[in-house]
Structure 1
Amino acid sequence: MTTLGFGDLAQSNIMRRHTMQAKADLARLSQELTLGRAADTPRHLSGDMGPLLAIDTSLARLEGYGAVTRELALFAEALQTGLATISDMALTASNSLIAASGTAAATHVGTAASAAHAALLSTLSTLNTRFGDRTLFAGMDTNGQAMASADTLLTALESAIGAAGATDVASVEAALDAWFAAPGGYQGTAYLGSAPLAEVPVAPGEALALDITADDPALRKTLKGLAMAALVDRGIFPGQYELQKGLAQRAGEVLLAGETDRAQLAARLGGLQARLDQAQTRNESEAAALGMARTAMVEIDPYETATRLQDAETQLELIYTLTARISRLSLADYL
């Protein structure tokens, strides 16, 4: 019976360790040559991980900014779409009301007023549009609606007109102006949202707020014009066609004059969108530069790595050869 001495076991263990180390080196170098970067980063950087961790921290922060700016860009686009929809409806209603007021036919005024009433409903619906789980024009109160119903709005206006004792176009408009301006009027009854959205950081050292709500003066003016026409559709000044026609015409004029305000509001939003685009571009450029710097820190020299890989293969083949000789086994039998 053949026995193994202490020297044989020690030699076997040494060869086994050398074999495992050579295989590990071969696997690591093969991975590095394939990926083009160090498999053992701390070893590659001689333990000095500070600069790499600083880059990773900056990249993570920029990714956070990226998530914010992408969401804000979509939110702003939805706001811009809503403003464009409202402006188109207001301009169409304005043209119809002014044209109808220039005719003697009461039916034309009634038709235009009815269409403006429908535009009011659609405008309120647009102001209540949700983007994901947020209401576009409700400010900080993103969970609820921005606006009350058209019936709530018009009923409140009819009450204000009655309380003011308004009996002509000028006094009706004055009553509406007072109601839209009073804290307990538009803001207390029709606008259900809250303060505008606060600023959000979008890039290092820069923050912006998409602070457009249904409480904006341009939108209040638009709602006032549509509401004036809707009141005609609801039968204000019963039996007094000239007053109805006059109020319809004035509603068209208010809506037409409000086009400038709506355009300025859209332009202000466009300016915020441009700032978002610029912030995204800067963040992406900085992230690209940091990514290149990170790559340079962990990348390997392909020629040097290929040479070391060949050395590792040669070393492993030598170990196999020695092992085969020692144990009188062929390399094939060993594997």
Structure 2
Amino acid sequence: MTAVSLGDLARTFLLRRQNAALKEQAQSLSTEVVTGQAADVRKQVGGDLGALAGIDRSLATLTARKSLTSEAGLAAAAMQTALGAIDLASRDLALDIKSLGTNGSTMTIDQLGSQSDGAFRAAISALNTRVGDRSIFAGDLPQEPAMADAETILADLDLAVAGATTAADVEAAVSAWFDGAGYATAGYKGGDPQGPMAVGATETAQIRITANDPTIRETLKGLALGAILERGSWSGTATERADLASRAGDRLLQNQSARIALAADLGLQETRIESAAATNAAELTSLQIARTNLLGIDSYEAATMLESTQTQIETLYSLTSRLSRLSLVDYL
């Protein structure tokens, strides 16, 4: 039988090819041991990638929806906090004003005016709350502030009430400003209410509240009426000033039930968002488990094969080292 031998160059190429193949196998097995999933996906699913593609598509949709519901939930919670702060300040101010009656001293009325001014400015600040880079009360123009700054609004109201002689005149002027072009151009800077958002496969939620909501405008009217008491733009008699304070308190109290209803409607949308988020999370987990089962491998077997491959690589290195030291004298 004729023996077939390999030349030095051919043997070198053969050893290099074997070395590369073993290293590639070791890398693949290392990945499988670490991830617990097959490195060769096509081989694992027998060439049928349809089921895997469907799972991955659903996972991508749910991941995007998770981000949407998370952002919507944060915005709704921030809105609820802002509305709660506005309602609390308005209720406290209204009670203070009503406890004054119609015979309050000039100093007391001035103090209520200062308290109203602070409450108005705090309300404007709350309505300009941002979550991330979005102004949550600005409707479909979230990049813009929902409201002009408080001083700009109050300065515009100063002009609106400049010719008023009675508390009734001031109330009428302030009401006309908030219901007309004054608020639309110099007050509210946002857009229309946002449309419904898909928070689940068949579930939607819609937060329609903006700083242009009638309930919010009515609350701002009451706060602004009180703030005018210390502005100096209207110089009414003591009796008229007490009457204006009373009218501010009445508006704030009458609007309280509407503020509660507004917060309740927002709470309903929060519940829908939270429920959809929980459903999405459960579905996401189920799909991740299904994907793992589809691509999962026996980690113990993979570790054993990796160890065997590493042994082969070490053996190949040892063999290559010995062959590289051969000489003609040793061969003969």
TM-score where L is the length of structure 1 = 0.80
Cα 1:162–1:40 change in 2 (3 A) is same
Match of 1:300 in 2: 297
1:23 to partner: Cα distance: 5.6
* Aligned equivalents of 2:231, 2:142: Cα separation in 1: 32
What is the CA–CA distance in structure 2 between the aligned matches of 1:217 and 1:158, rounded to whole Å? 22
1:223 maps to 2:220: yes
Please say if 1:136 is aligned against 2:136. Answer: yes
Q: 2:204 is paired with a residue of what secondary structure?
A: strand
Please name the residue that 2:6 is paired with: 8
1:258 to 2:255 alignment: yes
In the alignment, the residues of structure 1 paired with residue 35 and residue 134 of structure 2 have an alpha-carbon distance, to the nearest angstrom, of: 43
CA 1:79–1:6 in 2, change beyond 3 Å: closer, same or farther? Answer: same
2:282 to 281, 285, 294: 285
| Cα distance in 2 between the residues matched to 1:55 and 1:168 | 70
Partner of 1:176: 174
Structure 1: unaligned runs, 5 residues or longer:
331-335
CA shift, 1:229, in A, is 1.2
- Could you tell me how far apart the structure 1 residues matched to 2:229 and 2:157 are? 12
Q: For residues 48 and 170 of structure 1, do their structure 2 counterparts lie closer, same or farther at Cα, with a shift above 3 Å needed?
A: same
Instruction: Give the aligned partner of residue 196 of structure 1.
Output: 193
Shift of 1:109: 1.7
Measured against aligned partners, the alpha-carbon deviations of 1:210-242 in whole angstroms (never above 9, x if no partner) come to 332111111111111011112222347635211
Deviation at 1:56, TM superposition (A): 1.2
2: distance between equivalents of 1:47 and 1:142? 47
CA distance in 2, matches of 1:113, 1:313: 83
Does structure 1 retain, via aligned residues, the 8 Å contact 2:31–2:39? Answer: yes
Q: TM-score with structure 2 length normalisation?
A: 0.81
Change (3 A) 1:239 1:206: closer
Mapped to 2, the partners of 1:104 and 1:65 lie a distance apart of 56
How far apart are 1:311 and its partner, in Å?
A: 7.4
Aligned-partner residue type, residue 299 of structure 1: G
One-letter code of the match for 1:227? Answer: A
Over the aligned positions, Cα root-mean-square deviation in angstroms equals 3.5
- Helix, strand or coil: the match of 2:199? strand
Aligned partner letter, 1:82: A
Match of 1:234 among 210, 231, 235: 231
CA distance in 2, matches of 1:7, 1:234: 106
How big is each residue's C-alpha offset from its partner over 1:51-89, in whole Å with a ceiling of 9 and x where there is no partner? 112211211121111122222222222222221221122
Q: After TM superposition, give the deviation of residue 201 of structure 1 in Å.
A: 2.9
- Contact map agreement 2:139 2:193 (CA 8 A) in 1: yes
1:103-122, aligned counterparts within 5 Å? 103-122=103-122
Query: Structure 1's 174 and 34: CA in aligned 2 closer, same or farther, altered over 3 A?
Result: closer
Given that 1:101 and 1:109 are in contact with CA atoms closer than 8 Å, whether structure 2 keeps it comes out as no
| Equivalent-residue separation in structure 2 for 1:52 and 1:44 (angstroms) | 11
Which whole-Å deviations, capped at 9, do the CAs of 1:136-156 have from their partners, x for residues lacking one?
Answer: 322222333322344443454
In the alignment, the residues of structure 1 paired with residue 22 and residue 132 of structure 2 have an alpha-carbon distance, to the nearest angstrom, of 56
